[in-house]
Structure 1
Amino acid sequence: RPLDNQPSGSTVQVQIHQRYFWNRNWGSFSSLCTENDVISKTSILVNNYVYCYVNCSSSTFPSTGISTIMTSTDCDTNLLVRSWSGERYDTLTLPLTTSITIGYTSSAWFGPNLYPAAGGTWAVMNRINLAVRPDGYINSSPVTNTLPVLFKPVGQQLTHIVQMSDNDGTDILKCRWSNSNSGTNYNRKDECVNACAGLNGISTLYEENCTLVFTLPTTRIGWYYVIALQIEDYYDSSSPAPMSSVPIQFLFYAYSSSSSCTTRPQIIGERPNRACIGTPINVTLTERVIAQSFCSGATISNYVTSSPIGMRHSTVVSQGGGLYVMTLTWTPTDNQYGPQGFCAGAVDSSNLQSDAWCITYLVGFDSPNLIRATVVQGTASPIGTIFSNHSIFSIQATRDVHRPTRNGTYVKFMDATTNTSVQTFDAGWQSNILYTGNTIIIITNYTWIPGRRYYVLFDSGVASGVEFCGPESAPITDSTFWAFNIWDPGVSSTTTTTTTPPTTGTVTTRPLSTTTVNTLLTTTGVHVTSTNVIITTTTESTTTSTTTSSNI
C-alpha cells in the first residue's frame, strides 16, 4: 500500500507486507519453535527472495529482490498443523510508472499426503500497479488473512468464506483461482505451478464474495488440499481489468471423525467474528478468545493462530462448563499503523476444529463509544419515566458514526422484570435505525407495559467509525447504562413528579439521517481483517501453508 495515497511528484513510498507459514518440523531449523520465539521476536531463517518477474523496466524494484526472513508471530504445535509463522514489512520508493508482477517461487511442499503438490514446486504472484486511479489517488491492494490449516470433514457439502477487504472503500473485490496461464492471467506469470487446482472438480467458487462450496472425497482421509487464490480489486463494476492482484494459499485437512460426537467447538467471544477494533499506538491491549466445547469429555488445549508481530498468547485456561480462554496481550508500535489482522481456530482433544474467527485491529485509530445516559435531554433520550406509546429513542456516540459493516449486530430492548428481549433490531440493515452525525435514532413499534422498567443493550459495533473496516463501539451489556420506566396511571401522580415526562425534543431537533440501508450486507461477506497475503515454503519439507502479502 502507498504510505500516502495522494500523488506528489513522480515517486511514492510503498509498504510491502509478507506473511508465511513454515513447517515447524523442517529439518533445517535448529530447534522446534515455542511461544518464547514469539515473545522474543526470533527471526525465521528461511533466506530466499521475492523478485520482480514481469515488466520490471517500469519500476526501480530492487533487482536483488526482497528478503523472506520473517519475524516470529505464531508457533502452532498441533501435530496436524505444526507451523511456525512470521511476517515482514519493507518500505520502498518506486516510480508511479510501476506496473509489475513480483513473486516468490520454490519447491518442496511437504508430503506425501498433500494434494496436488506433494513435494512439488509452488509459486505466489502479486501485481503492483501504481498508476494514478481515475479518482486521482494511488491504489492500495486488497488485504486478507487466513489460518494455515483448516480441518474439514469428508463427504459433506461445506462452505468456506475467504475474507477480503480494501482500504479503497469503493473498489469492487473479486477472487479467482490462481492458474498457470501466464499468457492470459493478470499477472502474466504462472501463479501456483504444482499448487494449482487443489479442489478441481469438487468445488464451486463464487468470486464476488470469495465463497467456496465443496465436498472433500472420502478417498483421501488424512490428506491436505492446497487452495490457491488471487484476490483482485476493480475500480468499478465496468472495469475490464483489476488494478492489483494479491495471492492467498492455505490448506484444508480432510478428516473423518472417529469420535461419537462430531460437534465442533465454537469461538463465542468476547468479540464477534470479523470485528474491527480501533487500537491506539503504544497502548497495551488485552483480548480474551473464548471457545465452547460441546462434546462430553472433550477439552480444548490448543488454538491455531495467525497474529501480528509482538502479540503474545497465553496458555489455554478452563473456565468450567466447557468454556476455554486464551488471553492475547499486545502493544502495537508506530510501524504497525493501519489494519492488523488476527485469526484463531480452537482445536479440541478429538482434533475437531472450530471455524476460523478473525478480527481486525485498526492501529492508530480510536473506536467510537456510546455515551452513558446521565441527565434528561442529554446524550440518550428518553430516560426517566415515559408513556407506554413512546416510540422514538436516540443515543449519542463520542464521534460521528455509521451503520455497522456486517449484519447480526443487534440493539435489544430488554424487560427488566424478565430480563428478556421485547424488541430486537439488526443495525446492519433494518431501516428503523437511523444514523446522523454522532447520533443513532431507533424507532420502535411496541406498547410498553405500565409500571415496568426496561433497559437497552448494544452489540459490539452498533456504532462504527468511518475509517477502513469501521472501528467498532464496545458492546453494552450493563442494564443500568440506559434504562427507562413506563408511567403507570394506576399509581398516584405524586410518585412520578421527580421524573421526566415523555418528550421527543431531543430527537426532533436533530435532522434525520439520509443514510441508506445496505441490503447487500450478509452475515458472511464484509471487511476483514488483515494485511496478509499468502506464500508457501521453500526448501525440503518446508511448508504447511503459505502467504505472501504485498500491501500496495
Structure 2
Amino acid sequence: MYINLVVTVLIIVNPLRFCLSHFRGGTITWRYKSTQQIYIKYKLSFRRDIYDHFCNNLDSNVLIRGEGYLETFVFSHSGYPDSRSLINQMSYLCTGFSEDENWTYGQNTVLVTMPIDLTSRTYILRYSGKYWIPLVSGSPEWLLQLTVNLTSRGDNGRINSPPTASVPPFLRLKYGCLYSLSIPVKDEDGDIIKCRWANTYARYNITYGWYRWSECSYYGYSNKLLCQTPSNLLLNKDMCVITYNSTVSTGFYVVALQIEDFATGEAVNELSSIPLQFLIEVTFQNSTDSCEIKPVFETLHDMNSIIEIPVYTRYHQTIIASGFTISEIKVISQIQLTISELLMYGTSYERWYINVTWIPSPIYIGNHSICYTAFDIISQSTEKICTTVNVTSSINYCMENVDSFHTKWNITAANTQVNLSCTNEYMDSVSRNCSGGGIWEEPNYIQCSTHYCVENVDKFNTKWNTTVINTQVNVSCTGEYVGNVSRNCTGEGIWEEPDYSQCI
C-alpha cells in the first residue's frame, strides 16, 4: 500500500527557561544543497537584556547560543507524529543591536539533513516558543512555520528555490497616520510571489486523515488570539503591500505573514511557503510631527559632483540613507557596478547603506553618471542624486598579452619590468618590460635554458624521470632480468641510449 508521508521539523524551546517576554519576530527560509540536505537561513530578533541574546559587538564571529532545537516529526497512517529526532540548535551571529530600544538582531545559516526513508519529500518546518514581548493583542507564544518540497518542479525539472523576505523586527507607526507598507520580497526562480496572513490553523491532508497545525502558535489551535492582526490593516496579497490606518490603541502588535511562490499567476497551489513575522509599534505623535517624513541621503561624499579616477583604479562609495526604515537604495548607471546588499548602518533601523565599487578599464575613459534613489518601506523616496565619475588615462598600463611562446603577461603598470618562470621544460626566468607609453617590449628568453632531461620511456619500457643535466641515472632492470641499467643525461639536456649490459 502506498502511504503518503509528511515530515514536520519543529524547533521547541523549554517553556520554563525564560520567565520574561523576549521574542521580537523573524523569518526563516531554505536553499537546496543535495538529495537530502538543505541550508536553513533564519533571521531572528530578541530582547537584548536577556542573557542568551545579549550583543554588543557586530564584528565578532562568535555565535550567540540563542534558543530552540530542531526536531523531526514523521506523520504516517495515524495522522499524528510517530517519531522525532534532534537535528540542530538555533544559534546565530549578531548583526544588529540597540541599547536604547533593547533589541538584538541576528542571522545564521545551518546545513540540515532531512529524513531519507519517505515516500513523500514534502516537509513542514516549525520554530516555536514562549513568549513575545508584551502585546496589545495576539498570542503570547510564537511560531514560525515554513514548507519545503524537495521534489523536482514540473515546469523546469529543478528543485524549487523558495522566496525570501526581509523587514525589521519592528516598525514604529504614528497614531492617526495612513501607511502603505511594501514588503521586500525576492525569488531566485523568478516565480510569482504572493503574501497572505498566517492561518490560525492549517489543515494538511494525510493519507488517512487530516492533521491541524497553527502557523502562529505551537500551543494549540483553540487559542482565539492566534494570528490575530490589528484592525484597520489590509493586505494586497498580489503586491505584498499592507495598508494601515493606525488608529488602534498604542502599543505593540504582531504582523504574521506567509510569503509564497507560484509557478504562474494562475497557479492555485504554492511551490513553497515561508514565514515573516514582525512587530508594529503604534505611538502618539507630537502635534508638530508630520505623517510624511521622506527619507534623505547622508552626504558622506560630494553628491552631484565629478569624481576623477585613473583607469584600473578602484572606485568605492558608501551610500547611506536615513528615514522610516529604508527598504531599497536603487542604483541607475550604464556601467557594470558591484553593489552590496542593503545593510543597517550602525545600530539604528533609521539608517541603511550599500557599498558601490567599480574598477574601470581603458574602454571606459570619459564621464559616467551614477544615480541613486532611496525608498522606505512605506514607498516614500528621496530625490534622485547623481555623481559623475570621470575615468582618465593619466596612469598608463600594458594590457594583458600572450606572446609567441605562449607566456601570459598580465596587466602591468608602465615603466615596470616583469619576471616570470620559463615555460615547459625550461628553467630560470623570462623578463619583459612595460614601457612608459604602456607598450610591451619583446620578452627576453635568454635566461631560459634546458637544465633537465625530460621524463622519457625507452624502447624496453623503462621509465626515466626528469633528471638534471650531466647526470648518470641507474635503475633496476625490468622483467625477469636482474642488475642495473644506466643512462646519461648530457649537458645539452638530451638522453643518451641506455646501457643494459649489466642486466642478466
Question: Which residues in structure 2 correspond to 1:403-422 (within 5 Å)?
Answer: none
Q: Is the 8 A contact 1:267 1:292 kept in 2?
A: yes
Give SS of 2:146's match.
Answer: strand
Question: Which residues in structure 2 correspond to 1:112-151 (within 5 Å)?
Answer: 113-117=135-139, 120-134=140-154, 135-151=156-172
Equivalent position of 1:105 in the other structure = 128
Q: Is the 8 A contact 1:232 1:243 kept in 2?
A: yes
Give SS of 2:113's match.
Answer: strand
Q: Is the 8 A contact 2:48 2:55 kept in 1?
A: yes
Please give the TM-score of this superposition, normalised by the length of structure 2. Answer: 0.52
User: Whole-Å Cα distance in 2 between the matches of residues 73 and 346 of structure 1?
Assistant: 12
User: Whole-Å Cα distance in 1 between the matches of residues 69 and 326 of structure 2?
Assistant: 25
Equivalent position of 1:438 in the other structure = none
Deviations 1:193-213 (A, max 9, x none): 367444343111011121000
Residue of structure 1 aligned with 2:268, choices 240, 247, 262: 240
Deviation at 1:251, TM superposition (A): 0.5
More strand per residue: 1 or 2? Answer: 2
User: Whole-Å Cα distance in 1 between the matches of residues 236 and 41 of structure 2?
Assistant: 27
Deviation at 1:254, TM superposition (A): 1.0
Deviations 1:326-373 (A, max 9, x none): xxxxxxxxxxxxx9965438898xxxx74x8586x9xxxxx996956x
Equivalent position of 1:344 in the other structure = 344
Q: Is the 8 A contact 2:194 2:239 kept in 1?
A: yes
Residue of structure 2 aligned with 1:480, choices 390, 393, 398: 390
User: Whole-Å Cα distance in 2 between the matches of residues 19 and 292 of structure 1?
Assistant: 22
Give SS of 1:458's match.
Answer: strand
Equivalent position of 1:497 in the other structure = none
Equivalent position of 2:42 in the other structure = 18
User: Whole-Å Cα distance in 2 between the matches of residues 346 and 158 of structure 1?
Assistant: 26
Equivalent position of 1:496 in the other structure = none
Equivalent position of 1:203 in the other structure = 233
Change (3 A) 1:291 1:240: closer
Change (3 A) 1:133 1:456: same
Question: Which residues in structure 2 correspond to 1:344-493 (within 5 Å)?
Answer: 344=344, 354=350, 357=352, 457-459=369-371, 477-478=387-388, 480-481=390-391
Change (3 A) 1:72 1:86: same
Note if 1:47 corresponds to 2:67: yes
Deviations 1:255-292 (A, max 9, x none): 12337344747352689xxxxxxxxxxxxx98746345
The farther-off stretch of 39-48 and 135-144 is 39-48
Equivalent position of 2:27 in the other structure = none
Code of the residue aligned with 1:231 in structure 2: it is I
Deviation at 1:150, TM superposition (A): 1.3
Cα root mean square deviation, aligned: 4.4
Equivalent position of 1:388 in the other structure = none
Equivalent position of 1:154 in the other structure = 175
Residue of structure 2 aligned with 1:228, choices 236, 239, 256: 256
Equivalent position of 1:83 in the other structure = 104
Structure 2 gap segments, 5+ residues each: 1-29, 218-222, 301-314, 328-338, 374-384, 393-504
User: Whole-Å Cα distance in 2 between the matches of residues 247 and 151 of structure 1?
Assistant: 21
Q: Is the 8 A contact 1:101 1:125 kept in 2?
A: yes
Deviation at 1:190, TM superposition (A): 0.4
User: Whole-Å Cα distance in 1 between the matches of residues 132 and 318 of structure 2?
Assistant: 34
Deviations 1:134-182 (A, max 9, x none): 111011111112211111111111011111111112x111110001132
The answer to which structure, 1 or 2, has the higher relative contact order (CA under 8 A, 6+ apart) is 1
Question: Which residues in structure 2 correspond to 1:292-303 (within 5 Å)?
Answer: none
Q: Is the 8 A contact 2:344 2:353 kept in 1?
A: yes
Equivalent position of 1:214 in the other structure = 244
Note if 1:183 corresponds to 2:203: yes
Question: Which residues in structure 2 correspond to 1:280-299 (within 5 Å)?
Answer: 288=318, 290-291=320-321
Q: Is the 8 A contact 1:21 1:84 kept in 2?
A: yes
Change (3 A) 1:254 1:53: farther
Please give the TM-score of this superposition, normalised by the length of structure 1. Answer: 0.48
Change (3 A) 1:292 1:139: closer
Equivalent position of 1:414 in the other structure = none
Deviation at 1:48, TM superposition (A): 1.6
Q: Is the 8 A contact 1:143 1:164 kept in 2?
A: yes
User: Whole-Å Cα distance in 1 between the matches of residues 370 and 319 of structure 2?
Assistant: 20
User: Whole-Å Cα distance in 1 between the matches of residues 170 and 370 of structure 2?
Assistant: 34
User: Whole-Å Cα distance in 2 between the matches of residues 343 and 182 of structure 1?
Assistant: 34
Give SS of 2:59's match.
Answer: helix
Give SS of 1:39's match.
Answer: coil
Change (3 A) 1:481 1:305: closer
Code of the residue aligned with 1:151 in structure 2: it is R
Deviation at 1:91, TM superposition (A): 3.7
Q: Is the 8 A contact 1:304 1:346 kept in 2?
A: no
Change (3 A) 1:287 1:248: farther
The farther-off stretch of 76-85 and 262-271 is 262-271
Change (3 A) 1:203 1:45: same
